[in-house]
Amino acid sequence: DADVTQTPRNRITKTGKRIMLECSQTKGHDRMYWYRQDPGLGLRLIYYSFDVKDINKGEISDGYSVSRQAQAKFSLSLESAIPNQTALYFCAIRTGMNEQFFGPGTRLTVL
Amino acid sequence: GENVEQHPSTLSVQEGDSAVIKCTYSDSASNYFPWYKQELGKRPQLIIDIRSNVGEKKDQRIAVTLNKTAKHFSLHITETQPEDSAVYFCAAIRFSGGSNYKLTFGKGTLLTVNP
């Protein structure tokens, strides 16, 4: 089974701070994704990457940036966090059957 | 782009009853339709999926149906149990090989099964 880990699992920060959320996977899958989840809005795609040199914006990329440091690692950064970025963030990989396999999530609170 | 509508947003049933969640999609090129279950505080997990060349798929108490002409698909849970209580997400995926992959989620349905 693929395994996806996210760090930190919970983070509270203040407006204007820079935050990095990290995602790692152990099975060498090329495709990695970052989503945010808000109540009533479902899962919305922030960024996705098909390999180390291929980064693409999703539907809500403003205010976020990403880095694919290696095939196994895909980081999401908030350069200057704001309160409406308070959400649950999920990293996911696409497995061979085209399904999304999600990490455990990071709960971010911006005060 | 693709638009996926999911209804209802909340659903409450008595234990043992059936539950049905419906989704419609707009992109006729979508060819793969997974359903995810997210229990409180946990990650979404795939529970069943259906490909565009199939009309129905069943796995024990859950089933999914697809009507390509009408562009809608549904999740059916029979003999519901309290542990079925969760948020359920549908998704529509268009995949035609290589980097041609586009996934859109519905907004989710909160299912509550009352004992």
Tens of pLDDT along chain A (111 residues)?
568 999 999 999 999 999 999 999 998 888 999 999 998 788 999 999 988 889 999 889 999 999 998 999 999 999 999 999 999 999 999 886 678 899 999 999 999
pLDDT (0 to 100) of residue A99: 81
Which residue shows structure tokens 């997400």? Answer: B89
Mutant choice from A1, A5, A102, A107 vs B, greatest count of B C-beta within 10 A:
A102
Is B46 touching A (CB cutoff 8 A)? Answer: yes
Which residue shows structure tokens 């095939």? Answer: A71
In angstroms, what CA-CA distances link A15 with A60, A82, A83, A85, B28? 19, 5, 6, 10, 42
Is B47 touching A (CB cutoff 8 A)? Answer: no
pLDDT beneath 70, residues of chain B: 98-99
Mutant choice from B103, B104, B107 vs A, greatest count of A C-beta within 10 A:
B103
Is B45 touching A (CB cutoff 8 A)? Answer: yes
Q: Lay out the sheet containing A73-78: strands in order across.
A: A4-7, A19-25, A73-78, A65-70
